[in-house]
Structure 1
Amino acid sequence: MTNQLSTHLQSIKAETLKQWLDHNQAILVDVREPSEYAAERIHGAKSVPLSQFDINQIPVETGKSLVLCCQTGNRSAQAAKKLLTNGVETVINLEGGLNAWKQSGYATQININAPISMFRQVQIVAGSLVFVGTILGAFVSPWFLILSGFVGAGLVFAGVSNTCAMAALLAKLPYNQRGQS
């Protein structure tokens, strides 16, 4: 089944996507989280976050190619596989994601009032918890060091599994839900 999926999962470069969008030949779906989408996106992209991914939210237009994008191309590839396993015949992934789009010199829509990126939010919260746990462990009780150890273990798990429970929780906060369309 994996070979069948990979034959229908196609990748395109930013240059090709630009031509398709200029000629109204593609529907672009951004699978990043709402806060990421709100901060910066390719003009015309529709938001369908991977964390809330629903095949019924994917816009379909006859005669247009369905292209998925994210920041680097990894999450959009995951979303593409979900679509392929649910019967969508052909899905196209933007190779390199938004980063490749910008490296090719193409414009993006930027909202300077959008929430900070999920990655930075995780860094701030995790760093704060480790700092507080260490200070409390040094000056109040060594038992508070468990907090720092717990956060460290969570970060290791996130790196190994490519999932982040803290990011999933932060994504549910109201200010991270802005910008979804």
Structure 2
Amino acid sequence: MTASETTRPATVDATTLRELIDSGRAPRLLDVRTPAEFETLHIPGAYNVPLDLLKEHRAELRSHLDEDVVLICRSGARAGQAQQALAEIGLPNLKVLNGGMLAWQASSAPIAQGRQRWDLERQVRLVAGSIVLLAILGSVFVPGLKWVAGFIGAGLTFAALSNTCAMGMLLSKLPYNRGASCDLDSVVGQLRQTGERA
């Protein structure tokens, strides 16, 4: 695998994916967002395998992913990371939903909805913005606090350049973003049941 293949995952657009699903040739859909994001809305028939769980247990998941797999997140960034993690263990037939759930919704494709919660990227913007605002306001009284704002700015810059987000990874571990479906045994059980019916 070349470096360009690892930085640019194979993609499928929302229209093509919808056509595959409607024709009965649906690939395995793995949604790598947090359980809270998944509960809020997801593609019907998708399995929730949060990115951190997928990375930690990718070898165990591999034996249950022998057909075409489409990885889904909000915009495509986390799905791209999941694709790289699974490609490293030799899993073929991986694609990322181009534009993620944002593109899926924009195409007016069907979605399953649950209790509404803020997505992880919105949470990151709230926390980062609040820290910067409080650091700048606090620096009136404690001049050194301006460096906290600078640190957050540097972290956001690194997040954009590396396409990773440490703050997002930390926020994804909060109880608000977790759920009962976020364990490997239930995910593998669901994948196994579907595989046996196929």
Report the TM-score range of the alignment, normalised by the length of the smaller protein.
Answer: 0.7 to 0.9
Verify the 8 A CA contact 2:62 2:91 in the aligned structure 1. no
Tell me the distance in 1 between the aligned counterparts of 2:145 and 2:83. Answer: 43
Instruction: Identify the match of residue 113 of structure 2 among 110, 113, 120.
Output: 110
TM-score normalised by L of structure 1: 0.81
Which amino acid in the other structure matches residue 147 of structure 1?
V
The structure 1 residue matched to 2:61, chosen from 46, 57, 63, is 57
Structure 1 pair 114–134 and aligned structure 2 pair: CA distance change class (3 A): same
Match of 1:136 in 2: 138
Residues 27 and 70 of structure 1: is their aligned pair in 2 closer, same or farther, counting only changes over 3 Å?
A: same
How much identity, in percent, do the aligned residues show? 36
Residue 69 of structure 1: aligned partner: 72
The CA distance in 2 between the partners of 1:143 and 1:5, in whole Å, is: 44
List 4+ stretches of structure 1 deviating above 6 A. Answer: none
Cα distance change of structure 1 residues 35 and 151 upon mapping to structure 2, 3 Å threshold: same
TM-score w.r.t. the length of structure 2 is 0.75
After superposition, the Cα gap between the structure-2 partners of 1:80 and 1:163, relative to the gap in structure 1 and judged at 3 Å, is closer
> Which consecutive unaligned segments of at least 5 residues does structure 2 have?
183-198
**Aligned partners of 2:170 and 2:158: how far apart in 1?**
16
Q: Which amino acid in structure 1 is aligned with residue 38 of structure 2?
A: Y
**1:159 and 2:145 matched:** no
Residues matched between the structures, number: 176
Give the partner amino acid of 2:35: P
Structure 1 stretches lacking a partner, 5+ long: none
Distance in 2, Cα, partners of 1:144 & 1:50: 33
2:4 and 2:151 mapped to 1: Cα distance? Answer: 41
Query: By how many angstroms is 1:58 displaced?
Result: 5.8
